[in-house]
Amino acid sequence: MADDRLIVALDVATMEQLKNLVTTLGDSVSYYKVGMELFYAAGAQTVTYLQEQGKSVFLDLKLHDIPNTVAQGVTSLTRLGAKLITLHSQGGPVMMAAAAKAATEAAEKLQVERPKLLAVTVLTSFDDDAWTAIGGQLPIRDQVLRLAKLAKESGMDGVVASPLEAKAIREVCGDDFLIVTPGIRPSFAAANDQKRIATPKNALADGASKLVIGRPITKAENPQEAVRLIVEEMEAI
Protein backbone atom coordinates (compact mmCIF):
# COMPACT_ATOMS: atom_id res chain seq x y z
CA MET A 1 0.00 0.00 0.00
CA ALA A 2 1.36 3.41 -0.98
CA ASP A 3 1.71 6.03 1.77
CA ASP A 4 -0.79 8.76 0.89
CA ARG A 5 1.14 11.33 2.92
CA LEU A 6 3.54 11.41 -0.03
CA ILE A 7 2.45 13.52 -3.00
CA VAL A 8 4.67 13.43 -6.08
CA ALA A 9 4.88 16.70 -8.03
CA LEU A 10 4.33 16.09 -11.74
CA ASP A 11 6.39 19.03 -12.96
CA VAL A 12 6.28 18.01 -16.62
CA ALA A 13 4.58 19.56 -19.65
CA THR A 14 3.04 16.67 -21.60
CA MET A 15 0.64 13.75 -21.14
CA GLU A 16 3.35 11.44 -22.41
CA GLN A 17 5.78 12.46 -19.68
CA LEU A 18 3.01 12.21 -17.10
CA LYS A 19 2.10 8.69 -18.22
CA ASN A 20 5.75 7.61 -18.20
CA LEU A 21 6.24 8.77 -14.64
CA VAL A 22 3.02 7.29 -13.34
CA THR A 23 3.79 3.98 -15.06
CA THR A 24 7.34 3.95 -13.69
CA LEU A 25 6.17 4.62 -10.13
CA GLY A 26 3.29 2.14 -10.35
CA ASP A 27 1.73 1.13 -7.05
CA SER A 28 4.40 2.84 -4.96
CA VAL A 29 2.69 6.25 -5.27
CA SER A 30 -1.01 7.00 -4.83
CA TYR A 31 -1.07 10.82 -4.83
CA TYR A 32 0.10 13.28 -7.51
CA LYS A 33 0.27 17.04 -7.77
CA VAL A 34 -0.68 18.64 -11.10
CA GLY A 35 0.40 22.27 -11.33
CA MET A 36 0.09 25.12 -13.77
CA GLU A 37 2.69 23.90 -16.25
CA LEU A 38 0.99 20.57 -16.87
CA PHE A 39 -2.61 21.67 -16.46
CA TYR A 40 -2.29 24.65 -18.80
CA ALA A 41 -0.56 22.47 -21.41
CA ALA A 42 -2.57 19.26 -21.22
CA GLY A 43 -5.76 20.26 -19.39
CA ALA A 44 -8.45 18.20 -17.73
CA GLN A 45 -7.30 14.89 -19.24
CA THR A 46 -4.40 14.92 -16.77
CA VAL A 47 -6.81 14.58 -13.86
CA THR A 48 -9.06 12.11 -15.68
CA TYR A 49 -6.09 9.90 -16.52
CA LEU A 50 -4.75 9.91 -12.96
CA GLN A 51 -8.17 9.01 -11.62
CA GLU A 52 -8.48 6.14 -14.09
CA GLN A 53 -5.19 4.87 -12.68
CA GLY A 54 -6.70 4.96 -9.19
CA LYS A 55 -4.61 7.96 -8.10
CA SER A 56 -5.63 10.96 -5.99
CA VAL A 57 -5.01 14.39 -7.48
CA PHE A 58 -3.80 17.58 -5.84
CA LEU A 59 -4.64 20.35 -8.31
CA ASP A 60 -2.29 23.21 -7.51
CA LEU A 61 -3.67 26.11 -9.56
CA LYS A 62 -3.60 28.75 -6.79
CA LEU A 63 -6.95 30.37 -7.55
CA HIS A 64 -7.19 34.09 -6.80
CA ASP A 65 -10.08 36.20 -8.12
CA ILE A 66 -13.37 37.69 -6.97
CA PRO A 67 -15.42 35.33 -4.74
CA ASN A 68 -17.97 34.36 -7.39
CA THR A 69 -15.33 33.48 -9.97
CA VAL A 70 -13.27 31.42 -7.53
CA ALA A 71 -16.42 29.65 -6.31
CA GLN A 72 -17.31 28.69 -9.89
CA GLY A 73 -13.74 27.55 -10.46
CA VAL A 74 -13.86 25.35 -7.37
CA THR A 75 -17.18 23.88 -8.57
CA SER A 76 -15.57 22.96 -11.90
CA LEU A 77 -12.51 21.43 -10.23
CA THR A 78 -14.73 19.44 -7.84
CA ARG A 79 -16.60 18.11 -10.85
CA LEU A 80 -13.30 17.19 -12.42
CA GLY A 81 -12.39 15.12 -9.37
CA ALA A 82 -9.56 16.99 -7.64
CA LYS A 83 -9.05 15.90 -4.02
CA LEU A 84 -6.92 18.90 -2.97
CA ILE A 85 -7.22 22.39 -4.47
CA THR A 86 -5.09 25.47 -3.71
CA LEU A 87 -6.15 29.10 -3.55
CA HIS A 88 -4.50 32.30 -2.36
CA SER A 89 -5.56 33.39 1.11
CA GLN A 90 -4.76 36.93 -0.01
CA GLY A 91 -8.02 36.71 -1.96
CA GLY A 92 -9.55 37.39 1.46
CA PRO A 93 -12.10 35.83 3.84
CA VAL A 94 -15.12 36.34 1.58
CA MET A 95 -13.39 34.64 -1.33
CA MET A 96 -12.27 31.72 0.84
CA ALA A 97 -15.71 31.27 2.39
CA ALA A 98 -17.32 31.31 -1.07
CA ALA A 99 -14.84 28.66 -2.23
CA ALA A 100 -15.57 26.45 0.80
CA LYS A 101 -19.32 26.74 0.25
CA ALA A 102 -18.95 25.92 -3.44
CA ALA A 103 -16.85 22.82 -2.69
CA THR A 104 -19.44 21.55 -0.20
CA GLU A 105 -22.40 22.20 -2.49
CA ALA A 106 -20.77 20.74 -5.60
CA ALA A 107 -19.67 17.61 -3.76
CA GLU A 108 -23.13 17.10 -2.28
CA LYS A 109 -24.77 17.52 -5.66
CA LEU A 110 -22.37 15.12 -7.35
CA GLN A 111 -22.37 12.71 -4.41
CA VAL A 112 -18.58 12.72 -4.30
CA GLU A 113 -16.08 13.29 -1.53
CA ARG A 114 -15.71 17.01 -0.85
CA PRO A 115 -12.29 18.20 -2.02
CA LYS A 116 -10.07 19.77 0.62
CA LEU A 117 -9.16 23.40 0.07
CA LEU A 118 -5.64 24.56 0.85
CA ALA A 119 -4.66 28.19 1.23
CA VAL A 120 -1.38 29.64 0.08
CA THR A 121 -0.20 32.26 2.60
CA VAL A 122 2.93 34.15 1.50
CA LEU A 123 4.79 32.54 -1.39
CA THR A 124 8.14 31.25 -0.15
CA SER A 125 9.81 33.04 -3.07
CA PHE A 126 9.25 36.39 -1.31
CA ASP A 127 12.23 37.98 0.36
CA ASP A 128 12.03 41.11 2.52
CA ASP A 129 12.72 43.47 -0.42
CA ALA A 130 9.97 42.00 -2.59
CA TRP A 131 7.63 41.96 0.40
CA THR A 132 8.25 45.65 1.11
CA ALA A 133 7.82 46.45 -2.59
CA ILE A 134 4.21 45.22 -2.55
CA GLY A 135 3.48 47.09 0.68
CA GLY A 136 3.87 44.23 3.15
CA GLN A 137 3.68 45.66 6.69
CA LEU A 138 4.13 42.78 9.11
CA PRO A 139 7.27 40.66 9.04
CA ILE A 140 6.68 37.83 6.52
CA ARG A 141 6.57 35.16 9.22
CA ASP A 142 3.86 37.00 11.16
CA GLN A 143 1.88 37.50 7.97
CA VAL A 144 2.09 33.76 7.23
CA LEU A 145 0.61 32.97 10.64
CA ARG A 146 -2.04 35.66 10.33
CA LEU A 147 -3.15 34.32 6.94
CA ALA A 148 -3.10 30.70 8.12
CA LYS A 149 -5.40 31.64 11.01
CA LEU A 150 -7.67 33.62 8.70
CA ALA A 151 -7.74 30.70 6.25
CA LYS A 152 -8.91 28.38 9.00
CA GLU A 153 -11.58 30.83 10.17
CA SER A 154 -12.77 31.21 6.57
CA GLY A 155 -13.39 27.50 6.06
CA MET A 156 -10.13 26.35 4.50
CA ASP A 157 -9.05 22.81 5.35
CA GLY A 158 -5.37 23.66 5.52
CA VAL A 159 -2.42 25.48 4.03
CA VAL A 160 0.58 24.90 1.81
CA ALA A 161 3.65 25.97 3.75
CA SER A 162 7.39 25.71 4.05
CA PRO A 163 8.37 22.85 6.38
CA LEU A 164 10.14 25.49 8.47
CA GLU A 165 6.80 27.16 9.14
CA ALA A 166 4.93 23.95 9.92
CA LYS A 167 5.47 23.95 13.66
CA ALA A 168 4.28 27.51 14.23
CA ILE A 169 1.23 26.99 11.98
CA ARG A 170 0.35 23.76 13.79
CA GLU A 171 0.45 25.67 17.09
CA VAL A 172 -1.79 28.45 15.81
CA CYS A 173 -4.24 26.34 13.79
CA GLY A 174 -4.53 23.15 15.80
CA ASP A 175 -4.41 19.45 15.05
CA ASP A 176 -7.21 19.07 12.55
CA PHE A 177 -5.68 21.47 10.03
CA LEU A 178 -3.85 20.14 6.97
CA ILE A 179 -0.30 21.38 6.47
CA VAL A 180 1.10 20.36 3.11
CA THR A 181 4.78 21.07 2.67
CA PRO A 182 7.01 21.24 -0.42
CA GLY A 183 10.71 22.03 0.01
CA ILE A 184 11.44 18.50 1.20
CA ARG A 185 14.81 16.92 0.62
CA PRO A 186 15.41 13.35 1.78
CA SER A 187 18.85 12.74 3.22
CA PHE A 188 20.09 11.13 -0.02
CA ALA A 189 19.01 13.93 -2.39
CA ALA A 190 20.49 17.17 -3.76
CA ALA A 191 18.87 20.44 -2.66
CA ASN A 192 18.48 21.73 -6.29
CA ASP A 193 17.19 25.32 -6.09
CA GLN A 194 15.35 24.75 -2.80
CA LYS A 195 16.86 26.73 0.07
CA ARG A 196 14.59 26.42 3.08
CA ILE A 197 14.39 22.65 3.18
CA ALA A 198 13.70 19.84 5.64
CA THR A 199 13.96 16.06 5.53
CA PRO A 200 10.73 14.03 5.34
CA LYS A 201 11.18 12.93 8.92
CA ASN A 202 11.72 16.45 10.28
CA ALA A 203 8.82 17.92 8.32
CA LEU A 204 6.43 15.29 9.71
CA ALA A 205 7.83 15.69 13.21
CA ASP A 206 7.18 19.44 12.97
CA GLY A 207 3.54 18.86 12.12
CA ALA A 208 3.31 18.48 8.32
CA SER A 209 0.34 16.33 7.22
CA LYS A 210 1.51 15.61 3.69
CA LEU A 211 4.76 16.12 1.78
CA VAL A 212 5.05 17.29 -1.84
CA ILE A 213 8.21 15.95 -3.43
CA GLY A 214 9.30 16.38 -7.03
CA ARG A 215 12.85 16.14 -8.32
CA PRO A 216 14.30 13.81 -5.66
CA ILE A 217 11.88 11.25 -7.13
CA THR A 218 11.21 12.33 -10.71
CA LYS A 219 14.88 12.95 -11.57
CA ALA A 220 16.23 9.98 -9.63
CA GLU A 221 18.07 7.26 -11.51
CA ASN A 222 15.67 4.78 -9.94
CA PRO A 223 12.45 6.64 -9.01
CA GLN A 224 10.81 3.64 -7.32
CA GLU A 225 13.85 3.17 -5.12
CA ALA A 226 13.79 6.89 -4.26
CA VAL A 227 10.15 6.52 -3.16
CA ARG A 228 11.04 3.49 -1.07
CA LEU A 229 13.83 5.38 0.71
CA ILE A 230 11.61 8.42 1.30
CA VAL A 231 8.78 6.34 2.74
CA GLU A 232 11.33 4.63 4.96
CA GLU A 233 12.41 8.07 6.25
CA MET A 234 8.75 9.04 6.72
CA GLU A 235 8.00 5.94 8.70
CA ALA A 236 11.06 6.39 10.91
CA ILE A 237 9.28 9.04 12.91
Out of 2, 5, 6, 9, which residue is the one contacting ligand C5P (CB under 6 A)? 9
- The answer to whether the annotation marks 215 as part of a ligand binding site is yes
Please, is 68 exposed, middle or buried when counting C-beta atoms within 10 Å of its C-beta (0-12, 13-18, 19+)? exposed
- For ligand C5P, the binding residues in 22-61 under the rule CB under 6 A are 35
What is the Rg, in whole angstroms, of the alpha carbon atoms belonging to the chain? Answer: 17
Q: Judged by CB under 6 A, does residue 182 bind ligand C5P?
A: yes
60 is catalytic: yes
Q: Which of 46, 194, 199, 209 binds ligand C5P (CB under 6 A)?
A: 194
Nearest alpha carbon to residue 82 among 108, 111, 112? 112
Residue from the set 6, 211, 213, 226 that interacts with ligand C5P by CB under 6 A:
213
Q: Please tell me whether residue 12 binds ligand C5P under the rule CB under 6 A.
A: no
Active site (annotated) includes residue 142: no
CB-nearer residue toward ligand C5P: 98 or 230: 230
- For residue 178, the tally of other CB atoms under 10 A from its CB is 18
Q: Which of residues 110-129 bind ligand C5P (CB under 6 A)?
A: 124
Report the residue number whose CB is nearest to ligand C5P. 214
Query: Closer to ligand C5P at the Cβ: 44 or 220?
Result: 220
Would you say 17 or 104 has its CB closer to ligand C5P?
17
Query: Among 3, 19, 62, 149, which one carries the catalytic annotation?
Result: 62
- Interface with ligand C5P (CB under 6 A), residue total 13
Q: Does 91 bind ligand C5P (CB under 6 A)?
A: no
Instruction: Indicate the residue among 11 and 105 with the shorter CB distance to ligand C5P.
Output: 11
Contacting positions for ligand C5P (CB under 6 A): 9, 11, 35, 124, 182-183, 192, 194, 212-216
The set of catalytic residues is 60, 62, 65
Which parts are annotated binding residues for substrate?
11, 33, 60-69, 124, 185, 194, 214-215
